[in-house]
Amino acid sequence: MNSSGVKLSDEKESLIYNPKIRSIFFQILALVIVFGSLILLRHNTLVNLEDRGKSLGFHFLGETSGFSILPTFGTWVVGYEVGVSTYVDVFIIGILNTLAVGLFGIIAATLLGFTIGIFRLSNNFILRSFAATFVEIFRNIPLLLWLFIVYFAVLRNLPAKREALFFTENIGINITGLYAPAPQPLEGFLYVLIALIVGMVGCIFFIKWSTRRFLITGKKFPGGWLGLILLICLPLAIYYILGQPLNWEDPIFKSDGPVFRRGYQAGMGMMIVPEMIAVWAALSLYTAAFIAEIVRSGILAISYGQTEASFALGLRPGTTLRLVIIPQAMRVIVPPLTSQYLNLLKNSSLAVAIAYPELVSVFGGTALNQVGKEVEMIFMLMLVYLSFSIITSIFMNWFNSKIKLVER
Amino acid sequence: MSKIESNVEFVRKEDAPVLPPPINQVGLIGWLWRNGISSMINFSTITGSIQSVLMILLTVVVLYLGLNGIWTLVDFAFIQAIWSDADELKRLACATTLQGGSLPEEWFGACWPFIAAKSKLLIYGVYDIDEIWRVNLTYLILLVGIGWVVIEKMPYRFHVGIFLLVIYPIVAFVLLTGGNLEIANSTLIIMILVSLLISVFCFLIYRGFLGEGFLAAYTVFNAIRYLSIYITMVTIIFTSDFGLVTVETDKWGGLLVTLVVAITGIVASLPLGILLALGRRSSMPVIRLLCVLFIEFWRGVPLITVLFMASFMLPLFLPEGTDFNKLLRALIGVTLFSAAYMAEVIRGGLQAIPKGQFEAASGLGLSYYQTSRLIILPQALVLVIPGIVNTFIGLFKDTTLVLIISLFDLLGMIQSSFADPNWSTPVQSLTGYLAVATIFWVILFSMSRYSMFMEKKLRYEH
Amino acid sequence: MKKSFIFGAIAALGLISTGAFAGTLDDIKSKGFVQCGVSQGLPGFSNQDDSGKWTGLDVELCRAVAVAVFGDTNAVKFSPLSSKQRFTALSSGEIDILSRNTTWTMTRDTQLGLNFAGVNYYDGQGMMVPAGMGVSSGTELDGANICTNTGTTTELNITDYFRFNNMGFNLVAFEKADEVVAAYDAGRCDVYTTDRSGLAAQRLKLSNPDSHVVLPEIISKEPLGPVVRQGDDQWFNIVKWVHNAMVNAEEMGITSANVDSKKGSDNPAVKRLLGTEGSFGDELGISNDWAYNIIKHIGNYGESYERNVGPNTPLKLARGANALWTNGGLMYAPPIR
């Protein structure tokens, strides 16, 4: 009797004490709350939009845009033309410009960041204090402020529109931009590109093959050099065989004629606008300060015993650095480095403040104003940045699994 | 014996004279040797010589760059700068002859009277001049509170910290806005009733009237009770009349907005971040997935799109006719954004707690909530202080973005003051940027030092 | 219960105001002020001084609306908005009236759910160039770099103008007007284009205002006026008639100085305007002496113009198209009758 009573209460309790049921209950509750609020949000949005005489939809993407965009990488690739190009083109131009400034920014920030990071560990007092000052100054002032400072510093120090500072005959700079010859692929240039890809694949293959051969037989084979030769010579050979199918269009600088015709001529050669230079410089300097700290802590994380041990094994200093220190330091450096790259890409959105037509500026700014589709356009913006970050985390996971310490 | 003594002739009677250390180890030369010269004067081999020459060149170039930068700055900010405008000339005080002033044509220096004239705008915005003591008081309490918490010898540091996190925001809100919010009495009564009901409910659970099952979840309900009482109290405080004049948030600006956005962002994102971090480590897959989605979404997009969303889309999401103040919208965006980063920082702290702690806690029979509240979070939260400070530094810098949605923070304020024709000269913008950069630098640099100090301290303690 | 609790919590965060769209006037009366959207700083039209006081032609229109409703020039609050934010702010109910040198176009009237309550400044887009350039006409601008604001009709007009005239150009579009001025001042562009009134205002911010000239071309029609939400005719009428009352007052020669003496006038039109005859105010849902209050506290349209943008102000804008129709301008108000 007694035992059955206890049992009964056990059963009663079991429902609420059973961890499984509790956990399922909480999860369903969470789902209901989340989906409920999403449905509520959707409902509110639709009602509000209807009130304002608007509707949801992506038809606007097919409409032609009536505004002009500053000539940049994106407009050059897409071939933007007012009244002909659509909002899809504007969207693509935005993405391309973001990627362009992001790519150049990543390259510059990496080079500068590694240099400064190594300077910080140098025993040279001057280099060390320069690096420390650099890091502390650039890290502790907001990027947006840097952007303004750099932009107006750039504008202040460049020659006026009707003058120019010439680096070579064909390359010069003034306040309207940096001018250089523009490559114009002719017929057959495609084959050169194909040769380049073949060269790359060959290069990777040679390196892998020679490494494996070295590991198995111990015989050395200069796979890297051979690959490099292939990478350079094959496209060059094709290029000359096909009769140099690449034309260089030089920029034209006029110092006489009607006043607005003086200076660099529109549409001739390659122009890089000062806005892009400013965004690029500010992003690179700012991010370099963070990269320098990452590099420094990465190298410091490798204990000196590693170096001593590898010397004791008879490895030469160069080999020690290449085979012992760098692989271990990179394991520490790469994850935060990747997130800095992602930050740089996201931070490029601040360019909206100084008229560089990247994604947020041209699509979330100008286009949004003309079309007024806030919900759809901000959604598209976020989607682009989210895919950047997803790609980055996929890379990170791949990298982490590749370099994970093999433990016994 | 004597034989032995005779041998003693060869034993030194006194210590060998101490030789001076090698010349390259002491004094100026030693310092130079240790700090770089050694790598510049190795001409014994060919590679060594090349490396030395390169090193010398590099050092010279870097030295030139550094000194040049410093000189440009000092020249602009101090040597050439105009410090006072006694005659109230305004822009003419800082104008060259070309621009109608009296300075030589090649003059290029900072125009500090411009900053002095705009200092009120930069610190308070256009806050009512008679009410500025309220902002000052808010600043003062903050400064004293932070100083108290940071200085290790102070008593009751923990309590002051809790005061800063829980009570100070209310005080600051009342001081800055004037309180006296208008909320329908019915809402207020409903809130009081709800918290009363929850309290009664908790009491019933506590006494075991509702069965063992509810008793097990008592901690949760108790937490809800405290939360509801807190919110009700806060509402009552906000709606009561303290005799303060209402100051619209439109009138806030400059440092005030920067601090309000950054501090609200960090304080409000702390509890949210803790919940998200716990959720991400939860054993329930749905909760974990939802938390991961939330965190990765906000971390994946730039703050500026979040601000656009808060500014353009938030009004659409809310029920018809509900309308938020512009500042509050930005605050919501910033809070959600920084909560995601906060969650990751706290997760790092949670991961650093050894598994044994969890096991020991459950061995003692503590529930999940008790384990989290009494064992894990107290340890983890101390561990993550440097991380939180770093997040705060990031957020503080990010507050400048609110200028893009027409809120006037420090940077936005100086930019809008460039529009004042009374002060327009070519040096106006550089002076303004320099002043704002200095303010940011001082605040951010000291915070980053504090975070480093904490990191070091925590490392030693473990 | 839960819902009200959440809303209570949101309300506790403060700074929230609720109101249905339908009865803007009732909302305004219950909250005690008019919320007015203005620019982030355009001298002469809407500009904030260091003490936080807003002045300008657009600002005075908002004050006039406040006077008409409350009899108090200070029963109004201003929200500075970027050109991008302005329509969202209006349609979301964040502001009650948008008075921010906004151009009346058909799209805005039909697609954005807005109503333009009249035109308080007839403007046209112009172009400013440095005087040293020696340019006298817009058709000489082939190959120019042009700075302007993003998110305005300006951007579209200038594109059309250059395309129509077969001229090449580069457009550098900034987010905020101050950035445009700074970039133009630094020499990034040869041309600064915006509404001519805007040019007059923005040139004051240049380091040397006198060394720039505004070209004679007017490349677009820019009727600027106050905007309200669609679907609230009462509020729409109030804003519309506040502006009309100011213009009518100028036509009748009533100024802030003589309005008290005019109150005893026998002229039936004056009597109707000042509320001594008829019940025009009541029909708008506001007090009957609404127009009297406006003229008393703000003045007529001409006074407001002269005070903020006229020849004696730094902007030095002649009345031109904004003169009364009796003086060859376009300002014409329907009669109060």
Contact with chain B for residue A30, Cβ under 8 A: yes
Q: Are residues B193 and B302 in the same domain?
A: no
Nearest CA distance, B68 vs chain A (angstrom): 12
Examine the domain organization and report whether A287 and A154 are in the same domain.
yes
More confident residue, A4 or A181: A181
Query: What tens digit of pLDDT does each residue of B80-91 get?
Result: 999 988 888 888
Instruction: Examine residue B64 and state whether it is found in any structural domain, yes or no.
Output: no
Within this chain, do residues C94 and C235 fall inside the same structural domain, yes or no? yes
* Tokens read off for A56: 């949801």
B311 closest CB neighbour out of C13, C15, C85: C85
Q: Could you say which of B240, B267, B283 is where a domain stops? A: B240
Nearest chain A Cα distance for residue B358, angstroms: 17
A117 and A177 in a common domain: yes
CATH number for C24: 3.40.190.10
Residue C3 is assigned to a structural domain of this protein: no
Strand C47-48 relative to strand C34-38, pairing: unpaired
Residue C197 maps to a domain: yes
Last residue of a domain, one of C220, C236, C270: C220
Residue C43 contacts B where some CB pair is shorter than 8 Å: yes
Chains that touch B (3 or more CB pairs under 8 A): A, C
Interface contact flag, A355 C135, Cβ < 8 Å: no
Record the tokens describing residue C153, joined without a space: 């009709």
> What number is the average pLDDT over the span C265-276?
91
Query: Do C168 and C252 fall within a single domain?
Result: no
Number of domains in chain A: 2
Q: Is residue C6's pLDDT more than 50?
A: no
What integer best gives the mean pLDDT of chain C? 87
Query: Average pLDDT, whole number, for chain A?
Result: 86
Residue in chain A closest to B412 (alpha carbons) equals: A145
B1 falls within a domain: no
Q: What is the pTM of this model?
A: 0.86
Q: Does residue B286 share a domain with residue B162?
A: yes
Q: What token pair was written down for B110?
A: 């900072």
* Interface touch A127/B315, C-beta < 8 Å: no
- Answer whether C14 sits within 8 Å of B181, measured CB to CB: yes
List, as ranges, residues 90-149 from C with C-beta within 8 Å of B: 92-94
Q: Which domain holds residue A176?
A: 101-181+250-356
A336, A356, A376: which is the final residue of a domain?
A356
Q: Is residue B45 situated within a structural domain?
A: no
Say if A237 falls within a structural domain. Answer: no
What is d(CA A119, CA A292) in angstroms, rounded to the nearest whole number?
9
Q: In this structure, are A31 and A158 located in the same domain?
A: no
B168 plus B186 within the same structural domain: no
* Same structural domain, A119 and A19: no
Domain harbouring A150, CATH code: 1.10.3720.10
Backbone φ/ψ region at B90: left (φ over 0), alpha (ψ -120 to 50), beta: left
- Give per-residue pLDDT as tens, C13-27: 434 444 444 588 998
Same domain for A147 and A295, yes or no, is yes
**Residue B340's CATH number:** 1.10.3720.10
Same structural domain, C63 and C130: no
Residue A296 inside a domain? The answer is yes
Q: Are B324 and B230 within one domain?
A: no
The domain boundary, picked from C220, C252, C271, lies at C220
Domain boundary among C160, C188, C220: C220
What is the reported pLDDT for A240? Answer: 86
Cβ–Cβ below 8 Å for B183 and C88: no
Query: What is the ipTM for the molecules in this complex?
Result: 0.86
Residues B224 and B324 in one domain: no
* Residue B185 in domain: yes
Kindly state whether residue A265 falls inside one of the protein's structural domains: yes
Rank A8-12, A225-229, B396-400 by mean pLDDT and report only the highest.
B396-400
Same-domain check for residues B291 and B192: no
Q: What pLDDT is recorded for position A54?
A: 75
Give the DSSP letter string of C20-61: -STTHHHHHHHHTSEEEEE-S-BTTTBEE-TTS-EESHHHHH
The total number of structural domains that make up chain B? 2
Q: Nearest CA of chain C to the CA of A18: how many Å?
A: 28
Q: What is the pLDDT of residue B216?
A: 67
Tens of pLDDT, residues B223-235: 888 888 988 888 8
- Name which of C42, C46, C48, C174 to mutate to probe chain B: the one with the most chain B Cβ atoms within 10 A of its Cβ: C48
Interface-testing mutation among A14, A17, A148, with chain B (most B C-beta atoms within 10 A): A148
Domain range for C274 = 19-122+223-327
Nearest by CB to residue A350, choosing from B32, B304, B309, is B304
Residue B18 resides in a domain: no
What's B15's DSSP letter?
Answer: P
Q: Which residues of B touch A382 (CB under 8 A)?
A: 300-301, 305, 309
Domain stops at, among B204, B224, B240:
B240
Same domain, yes or no: A262 and A335: yes
If you write DSSP's letter for every residue of B366-392 in order, what string do you get?
--HHHIIIIIIHHHHHHHTHHHHHHHH
| C34-38/C97-103 β-pairing | parallel
Q: Are residues B376 and B430 in the same domain?
A: yes
The confidence band for A1, taking pLDDT boundaries of 50, 70 and 90, is very low
Question: Is the domain of C228 the same as that of C323?
Answer: yes
The answer as to whether A146 is a domain residue is yes
The verdict on C104 and C253 lying in the same domain is yes
Same domain for C94 and C140? no
A366: closest CA of chain B, how far (Å):
13
Q: What residue numbers bound the domain in which B447 lies? A: 126-176+244-461
The reply to whether residue B433 touches residue A353, judged by beta carbons under 8 angstroms, is no
Whether the CB of A154 is below 8 Å from some CB of chain B: the reply is no
Residue B247: what pLDDT?
Answer: 85
**Separation of CA A325 from chain center:** 27
Residue B407 is assigned to a structural domain of this protein:
yes
Name chain A contacts of C188, Cβ cutoff 8 Å.
155, 175-176, 274
Q: Of B240, B255, B283, which one is at a domain's C-terminal end? A: B240
Report the alpha-carbon distance of residue A1 to residue A196 in Å, rounded.
87
Write down the pLDDT at residue B281. 86
Asked if A285 is an interface residue toward chain C (Cβ–Cβ < 8 A), one would say no
**How many structural domains compose chain C?**
2
Cα separations in angstroms, A250 against A274, B186, C49: 19, 75, 51
Residues A19 and A163 occupy one common structural domain: no
- Quick one: B188 and B141 in the same domain? no
